[in-house]
Structure 1
Amino acid sequence: MDQNVQMLLAKLMEEKHTFNYKKLVVPMSMRSIYWKYFGFPATDEGEILTRVKIVCILCKTQIAYNRNTSNLRMHLQNKHAHELLELETANPPRRPSVDPKEKRAQKRVKTPSAPHIFTTVADGTVQIEGDVHFITDPNITLQSIDDDGSSSNQNVRVVLKREIGNQNVAIILPEENTNSQMPSMVDGKTISDAIAEFVILDLQLPDVVEGRGFQRLIATLRSPCEIPSKTKLEEELIPRIYDTFKESVQSLVSCHQGEMGLSVEEWNSANGESFITISVHFQQSFDPVLETKVLGTLHCGSEMDTAQWGNVFDVFFSEWDIKLENVTAVVTATTKQEILMALAEKGLTLVPCLVHSLQLCTNACFEQPEVVNILYKCRSIVALISHNNTYNATLRMQEQMMQLEENTLRMDYPRVWTSTYVMLEQLLIRKNIIISILNTADIIERDGFMLTEAEWKIMEDLVMVLEPFKVTIMTLSEEKTPLISLLKPLLCQLNNSHLKAKDSDSESAKNFKTSLSENLSTRYSDPTVNQLLQTATMLDPRFKLLPYANGDDKNIISGPIKEMLIKFVEEEQISNVGEEPCDKKSRLSGMEFLLGDLCNSKNGMPAEERADLELVQYQSESIAALDHCPLQWWAKASAKCPSLARLARKYNCVPASASPPHRIPMESQVLFDLRRASLGPDLVEKLIFLNGNHSV
């Protein structure tokens, strides 16, 4: 495309364009009956002036052309109902399509020589707003454009970027190019659903469809479609998808009659409003997969007390047909005491979320006065270097010389503690570079955030102490299904080894370790929670020997496990006794007559002996590898230890974190939190629900 054409296209995008037409014509390729009352503006010779708009013959109303006839029929229905009735009565639906070859043959025979199927003499004016883009096919050359804006090259595509009254976009292509060049997904509904799915999966605001960048992207993809408006997404598409998904999830949850776990995650929107998202976790039969379904998101009113939250949960659990006696535990990632007390009053065991607990523990360190001042200086240094081209270039050059990874020195996102850890870690690695850059900076620029040697040492201690926490986060994210059976071994290892003060530690390092250890221990100090975690750990084939526990602790846990196992065995035996054989024999066989009393198996093995046998069988199995999934292990072992496998399933339905594994890494946490926080209150319930339950 030469410079003159580019200048002309730029002019076309800025100015309004007026076309004086003498006729309204309809090309032969447009065979819908509704074209009888519409036409494209054309000259006296029948040459189409623009395909951006069509004109109603009856009332001269101008309508954006969207490459389909739905808006044509809608106009007739709203403005010319009598004519529409006559038209559809005189033209009943056509018979089913014939063979494609025969259809093409019929078309060749019936097509007249005239260039237009309808031609109407009419004077008028069509005005096109300046926001119109003429885009050429990248595979062809634009030949010529007349001064009035019309093109002699029929491969020019015209994109109407804004329609009066809404933000729909129409992409228009010449008919001869449609079949040969267009992708298979051309149905308007399919495109709309795909855009709605994009909004759901990426937690985008529906306003994205009004963005010029998004509209230009769709135009570049050359999809002959109508982009759904923001209003259509919010009021039609997303609610319809939500209703479909909710019905499916409700059916799945209500059909599950076994044990389940719940999780409650608190989060804040960009405007400071608080919400909690509630999810359910369960294992279907002995499938080695933990199903997780988001049930809903509730707004946290600032004045809601424990009693009000209790009523809210009653309604919520009733709506989802959740039986509290089947809930093993609730994983909580919230600091709101009213919510915690309301759940506890319902007899539910509350297990703190490990990811949330680590965030709270590290916040306690970051909020210490000397650390607050260091963090302020660190963020100022990162901002200074990133906004100064000279300092930034110096940093990049030094990183290359030291063979350091580039572009890793970034500002943190305080809601995700690992981002603050990474910022401090990367600053320490570049300590000499940072000092060198700051020494060359203007005294005014560096005044107030030049780090002292003592502050660098505190940073070093903090990064060293928090490293085991970082490894814990990485471990959780790498686990296919991080369960609560991991919590006790991790907590014991952190407290007894990594957070245990050493003589070689500095005072600041000892203080950090003490603070972290005390905070972590306090959060999991409840005796009921401790016993639940111990039981879950003993039923995990990786940790069944409880290597961190002494003999007395093991005996304390083995007793309740045996009692629950005996109960399961008795229930199974009662169920088997109640089952009558489908077809009774008319007479006893010889073997039954002679030896039936001797080998009577109706009584079976006593429940306690059966429980002991399964426990011995379980303990005799080799310890599973640390990277082995306990759900898969129990799926295979259920034939040997059926009752114990059922008991294990009771605890294997509770995750270690309210966040799924794919959201635990730092980058994923930050991105999801930012997108979720931007959602408006009118769509937050639907989009969070769909995003959490949608599987690609």
Structure 2
Amino acid sequence: MSDPLQDSVTSPHISSLKFAKLHSPKMKSVYWRHFGFPTSEDDCIITKQSIVCTLCHKVLTNHGNTTNLRAHLQYRHKEMFDLLVQENGIRVPPRKPTSTKLISKVKREPKKPKIKMEYSPPTLHSTISNESAANDEHDEQSILYESVVPMTYDDDDVIDSNHFTKIEVSNANDIKTSCSDLLTVNNRNERKFCITTSTAGNIEHELGIDEYQMLEALANLVVNDMRNIESLYDEGMTKFIRSLCGNVSVPALKKVETYLKEVHSDKQTTLADQIKVHSQIKPFSLGFEIWENVEQKHFLSIYFNYATEAPDYNLVNQIYCTIEYNKFTVIDTIFEDFNLNNCTAAIVNCDYDEYLKHFLSEKNIPIILSYDTIVNHCIKNVMELPGVASIIEEIKDTLMRYHLEISSKGVEIPQICSDFPWTYYELLKFFSETLSWPEDVEALVASSKIVYDILSTLAVTVDTLRGEEIPLSSMLSPITSKVLSKKLMLVDGDDNFAATIKDTISTTLDKLVLSDIHLTISALLDPRFHRLININNYNACVQILTEKFDRIVDSQGISPTKPSPRPVNYGVKSSPGAMSKKSNLELFFDLTESPVEQPVAHEASSVETDLKRYRSDVYVPLDESPFLWWNKMSHLYSTLKHLAVQYQCLPCVVNMNYKKPIKQQIDEHQKRFMLTGNLIDAILFLHYN
């Protein structure tokens, strides 16, 4: 007897399926012991529509039952199958008895599949247009059912005929009974519903969607658009799905929920295992974002930040989980398996939450306010000034007065959103630069232009950060120092109104950035920026770094190191080609001269002495990678290399939303605001990961 699984019916994308591991699900049937779902190197299940034999790595199609599993074991692994049958008392169904007739069964030729043809009565498709049928010799509609049978199967009872069904609706004259053409066009194991109707427009719908694909597509729709699952069953969405997919049934809500939970559980478990191990041995930082939904429930989204070395040195920012946040929330349970002693700092988007502050203070984790939140504070403080508030109201009134005229020109007026202070900036820009106004509005335009020009300084800083893949916290102090010393200094011609606005922004930046000693230390240990900051609390910085180094020595058992010899030149120079196109940082700081090296006396290695040598000797261009620099040059500063790693995993923002256009930020904010139910964590995790 020929092997019923020889030349098994697998499509090209299945036969070439690449997988790293196999995940064996917990099923009642003993046959599943030797089969599993293909998974990637990250332990994520690639597909559940295919299963792989753990004995021979043969890829089979998952029909939802064990028929083909049993057949595979029975004919490919007979000894293992007999052992399973004997151990579990399985009764194998007997084979069909052969015919007792004298006429022997004619075995079909290997290259002629069986074809079953049935023609329906003319009334079956009376709704189809008869315009084209009037010109034909046969005016009735018909259906052709073709069951393409695998050519190597001798036993028809093993075949799952539903898996090889193709249904085609067409004109009677267009029926083609040649199966060879069909086999060359459509792969034999695809369940493909091909519907061709003779309508006036000769519209053709060709679908290749089964229940599993529909389930996956709907889950992706929920995740990508950050929508509630219930929205899939709204009347409009239901009609849209049916218009595309015909009679393919929409999976039940519970099925979509279960699928999302499974995918989220797989990915989240894999990520959690990785970062928990990372937290035990390497420094990291955390991000906390507090937000509210339409039900007025508060949520806490937690981000994990860590530096990687392979394939490149860079910083990774990933959302870890989202939990409902109230007075009964126990944050400690989330970090039970984390070593919070390796947490460098926490970046938060809200500086008014005392409960979160208390938790971080208990763990001795410094708190840094996210830079996009700092900029929002600056704009809000400016908008609250009486003079600026009156200008905004006058602008609103003027736009209302000229609304019809502006709309007739096809110009969209920016709308203010109180949760997004940058919308005030967009409104001022639109009013002062986009439109031409009559003379009676010129005074208002001039006043709005003053506010807009000063706020543009903040826009430049944010644009500078956008140039970085993930901006480090070490950038904030030098950027702020540059802004205060060059952009927000009072100049001739500044009236009291402009001076008040500049002073408001300067005070906010000085309080939230320059006074933060951890941001100062972060900039100090970045070889690009240590020369670009003014340190008013240098002794305090040295003390904190010394205490940190002592803790590192105690925890990691680092042996005292001998002072390294002083090299001729510590600077890392870029090639002329690299300097031809300046980065955002180089354009912002506009450095033209290299600082002159100042000799430092050779002393025993310590945090303080290494810091003096480092500040005197090191000059690094702004486009140099701090990760790569410390990797190459850290042996010269034996104490600082362990401290610098602590701050290389510290971004200056909670997440990367600030990079998106303001309209997209508002749109995503509103989508998240509308999320309800118990799948918020899963939807957000899968959306951002």
TM-score (norm 2): 0.61
Q: Which residue of 1 aligns with 2:376?
A: 359
Partner of 2:102: none
Distance in 1 (CA, whole Å) between partners of 2:627 and 2:246 is: 45
1:486 Cα deviation (Å)? 1.0
- 1:488 and 2:512 correspond: no
Partners of 1:539 and 1:338 in 2: how far apart? 31
User: Who is 2:168 aligned against?
Assistant: 174
Are 1:428 and 2:443 matched, yes or no? no
Relative to 1, partners in 2 of residues 1:641 and 1:453: Cα closer, same or farther, differing over 3 Å?
same
Cα deviation per residue 1:149-177 (whole Å; 9 max; x = unaligned)?
A: x983769xxxxxxxxxxxxxxxx962898
Alignment of 1:419-458 (within 5 A): 419-433=423-437, 435=438, 454-458=443-447
Distance, in Å, in 2 between the alignment partners of 1:642 and 1:185 is 62
Kindly state the Cα deviation for residue 522 of structure 1 after the two structures are TM-superposed.
2.8
Aligned pair 1:290/2:307, yes or no?
A: no
Which has the larger displacement, 643-652 or 659-668? 659-668
The equivalent residue for 1:465 is 454
Equivalent residues in 2 for 1:212-611 (5 A)?
214=237, 226-233=249-256, 235-256=257-278, 257=280, 258-284=282-308, 288-301=313-326, 304=327, 312-318=330-336, 321-334=337-350, 335-379=352-396, 388=404, 391-393=406-408, 395-396=409-410, 407=411, 409-433=413-437, 435=438, 454-524=443-513, 530-545=516-531, 547-549=532-534, 553-554=537-538, 557-558=541-542, 561=545, 564=548, 608-609=604-605
The answer for the alignment partner of 2:232 in structure 1 is: 209
Match of 1:648 in 2: 644
Please state how far the C-alpha of 1:289 moved relative to its aligned partner: 2.0
Amino acid in structure 1 at the alignment position of 2:364 = G
CA deviations over 1:453-488 (Å, ceiling 9, x no partner)? 554343222212211111122222221121111121
Unaligned 5+ runs, structure 2: 1-61, 68-91, 97-106, 145-165, 170-175, 177-181, 195-205, 562-601
| Equivalent of residue 115 in structure 1, options 103, 114, 118 | 118
Specify the SS of the correspondent of 1:537.
helix
1:68-79 alignment, distance < 5 Å: none
Cα distance in structure 1, aligned partners of 2:142 and 2:432: 62
* Conserved 8 A contact 1:288-1:631: yes
Q: How far did residue 496 of structure 1 move?
A: 3.2
Q: 2:419 & 2:401 partners in 1: Cα distance?
A: 22
- The answer to whether the 8 Å contact 2:542/2:608 transfers is no
- Cα distance between partner residues in 1 of 2:331 and 2:472: 24
Structure 1 CA distance, aligned partners of 2:300 and 2:131? 56
CA distance in 2, matches of 1:509, 1:153: 81
Alignment deviations for residues 369-394 of structure 1 (CA, whole Å, 9 cap, x no partner):
454454345456657767x4x6423x
Task: Look up the match of 2:684.
Answer: 688
572 and 360 in structure 1: CA distance in 2 versus 1, 3 angstrom threshold: closer
Deviates more, 1:451-460 or 1:646-655: 451-460
- Cα contact 1:542–1:626 (8 A) shared by 2: yes
CA gap 1:69/1:561 in 2 versus in 1, 3 angstroms: closer
Q: Which amino acid aligns with 2:520?
A: Q
Q: Give the Å deviation of 1:325.
A: 1.4
Give the structure-1-normalised TM-score: 0.60
Shift of residue 211, structure 1, vs aligned partner:
4.9
Q: 1:460 to 1:90 in 2, by over 3 A?
A: farther
| 2:211 maps to which of 188, 197, 222 | 188
Residue by residue over 1:554-611, the C-alpha shift from the partner in whole angstroms, topping out at 9 and shown as x without a partner, is 565456546755775787775799xxxxxxxxxxxxxxxxxxxxxxxxxxxx995387
Give the CA deviation at 1:538.
1.3
Q: Deviations over 1:201-253 (max 9, x none)?
A: 332332443356655665676699654444432x2121111111221121011
Moved more, 630-639 or 678-687: 630-639
- Residues 83-139 of structure 1 deviation map (CA, whole Å, 9 limit, x = unaligned): xxxxx96899xxxxxxxxxx9955836445x528xx9xxxxxx9xxxxxx99x9xxx
| Whole-angstrom CA distance in 2 between matches of 1:631 and 1:665 | 29
The residue aligned with 2:566 is none
2:307–2:316 contact (8 Å) kept in structure 1: yes
Partner Cα separation in structure 2 for residue 153 and residue 219 of structure 1:
23
Query: What amino acid is the match of 1:174?
Result: E
Go from structure 1 to structure 2 and tell me whether the alpha carbon gap of 1:489 and 1:508 turns closer, same or farther (over 3 Å shift): same
Partner secondary structure for residue 520 of structure 1:
helix
Q: Tell me whether 246-255 or 657-666 shows the greater mean CA deviation.
A: 657-666
Conserved 8 A contact 1:276-1:297:
yes
Equivalent-residue separation in structure 1 for 2:419 and 2:658 (angstroms) = 18
Q: Which runs of 5+ in 1 are unaligned?
A: 1-67, 74-87, 93-102, 120-125, 127-132, 156-171, 397-406, 437-450, 578-605
Q: How many angstroms apart in 2 are the aligned matches of 1:576 and 1:225?
A: 70
Q: Look up the equivalent residue of 1:412 and give its one-letter code.
A: I
Are 1:481 and 1:629, in contact at CA under 8 Å, matched by a contact in 2? no
CA contact under 8 A between 2:319 and 2:685: conserved in structure 1?
A: yes
Q: Which moved more, 1:279-288 or 1:239-248?
A: 279-288
Which one has a larger percent helix, Structure 1 or Structure 2?
A: 1
Secondary structure, aligned partner of 1:329: strand
SS at match of 2:112: helix
**Closer, same or farther: CA 382–211 of 1 in aligned 2, 3 Å:** farther
Post-superposition offset of 1:268: 2.4
